[in-house]
Amino acid sequence: MERTVFDLLVDALAHERLDSIVLKNPEYEFTVEEIDRMAKELEIMDLNVEETRAVNRLICAYLTQNEVYSRFAYEQGFRDCAELLKEIGVVV
C-alpha cells in the first residue's frame, strides 16, 4: 500500500513529537505508575500459564484498539485544524 504525504507526516508527528510531549505529562506519568501497581497485583495472584496468556491477549487487544483510536483522533484533529485554517483564510 502506497503511503501519502499526510500519512507520513502524521506518523512523524504522532510518533516523535507527540511522544515527547506526552511522556512529560503528569497525567500520563500517573497512568504508568498505575499500570506498574496493577502488574504487581497480577504477579501476586500467581496465575497459571493459561491465565497469564489470557490476560496478556486481552491487554494486547486493548492496546491495539487504543492505538487505532489514538491514530484516528490525531488524524482527525489534524484535518480539523487544516479545515479551520482554510475557513479563516490562513491557507488556500
The pLDDT value recorded for residue 35 is 95
Indicate the SS3 state at residue 88.
coil
Of 5, 23, 6, nearest to 74 by C-alpha is 6
Is residue 42 packed enough to be buried (19+ CB in 10 Å), middle (13-18) or exposed (0-12)? middle
Domain extents in the chain: 5-87
pTM confidence score: 0.69
Of 67, 74, 69, nearest to 14 by C-alpha is 74
**pLDDT of the chain along its 92 residues, tens only?**
688 887 888 777 777 777 888 889 999 999 999 999 999 999 999 999 999 999 999 999 999 999 899 889 988 998 999 999 999 999 88
